[in-house]
Amino acid sequence: MTSELSSSWADFDLPIPPPQPVSSLLTNYSSPINVLAPLVRCGKLPFRHLCSLYETHVTYTPMILAQEFSRSQSARMADFTSSRDERGVFWVENRTGEGIGQGVEVKVGSVVRPMIYGHPEDFPNGQPDLSHLNLDDPSEVRADSDSPPIAPYKTYYTPPPHTRLPPTFLPPTRHSTLIRGSLIAQFASPNPGCLADAAELVAPYVDGLDLNCGCPQRWAYNEGIGCALLRKPELVRDMVRAVKGRLGWGWPVSVKIRVDPDLKLTDQLVRSAISAGVSHITIHGRTRHQASTEPISLPAIRFAVESARGEVPCVGNGSVWNVQDAENMRAETGVRGVMGARGLLANPALFAGYDRTPKHAVEQFVSLSVDYGLIFPLFHRHLAYMLESHYHRSERIYFNGLTSSVAAIDHLVSRGIDLPARHTEPIWDARRGRTMLK
């Protein structure tokens, strides 16, 4: 399959995008980075793949309980599946000239590549080799050097071969570059040991790990996970360090938090997480006690972003229902990325500019679900979310009463949904809703 990939990319004279941590995607590019939230039970493989077809650059697994995942094979089989093609390939605009460090680019001739430095213990001599840099201008690699521009860092992850291609043959602008999307596994844990064990098991298959510090459900709080960690910054610090101690300082670990009614505690949590070495922070703009029907606080998200002091990039989350909501969040809070949850459930093509789920997204989802395999309750629930804006109340009641995947598919066919395996085409242009190759 590696030869298939190389051949297909060579046919179109396209550079193969190198793997990058999410922090690099958020820092190195001026294009907005879009993220699928860790949805409860709903962020399974078929839906993640679907969102990646529609300008969602980073996807998260549903929240996984680290203790069960590390101890039970059946839990691992039920909670996590992936595929080599679920990550998308996207055109984005470069942001260069920000110096050297983790998530910063260097130029090799006319090619811009990420430069990633890890903890000193990750390097043979204790320090990264900078001999290939032009010390007068550290953003330039010396022309007389054959040294690779990417410094090594310890990681258990080797990107698998894939067949995904970008949505268009040509870059939209002369500053455009190709990136490959990322998959993040989110875990909930009350202690460092279980989290590190789970991280070691999942590390070969994902691009990073996220610690859930924001689940507001009562059962989670009682178990000492989710929002129970919001006022335990020392424990969060210890858990992040435990994962990095197990996998290496260069392994990306992030945290997802909610704002606290007392913003001083939010500042304390953010600073503690950064001191532990997190790669990025996701901030939900509601407190633990606020329902999802209540409005988010953009000023509170901005406060958390300012608490990070630019040391790590931040992602904003909460009440993103359309592209305008995402643009407003970026403009008013300073976040580098925007995460969608319920908005993407209702419209997986949200970030591609659609105001509601287009017909071809439903067709893609059915094909992906059939090919990957998705249990009926989740298959039915996703379709109900996507079709809600298209159906009248009586139609929704009828659809919700269907009892099998076959019945649901037959109903969709009767409503004019075409079900070829669209996603098997190598180039899919989400904005046009069609494949570029036949």
**Cα–Cα distance for residue pair 114/137, rounded to 1 Å:** 16
pLDDT of residue 119 exceeding 60, the answer is no
pLDDT of residue 111 exceeding 50, the answer is no
Active site residue 227: no
Mean per-residue pLDDT, 402-417 = 93
**Cα–Cα distance for residue pair 38/189, rounded to 1 Å:** 15
**pLDDT of res. 156:** 57
**Cβ(52)–Cβ(87) below 8 Å:** yes
The domain segmentation of the chain, as residue ranges, is: 16-95+176-352, 359-435
Structure tokens at 376: 């009926």
Superfamily of domain 16-95+176-352: Aldolase class I (3.20.20.70)
**pLDDT of res. 98:** 36
pLDDT of residue 292 exceeding 60, the answer is yes
**pLDDT of res. 11:** 64
Mean per-residue pLDDT, 355-371 = 93
Query: Active site residue: 42, 51, 194, 215, which one?
Result: 215
Whole-model pTM: value is 0.84
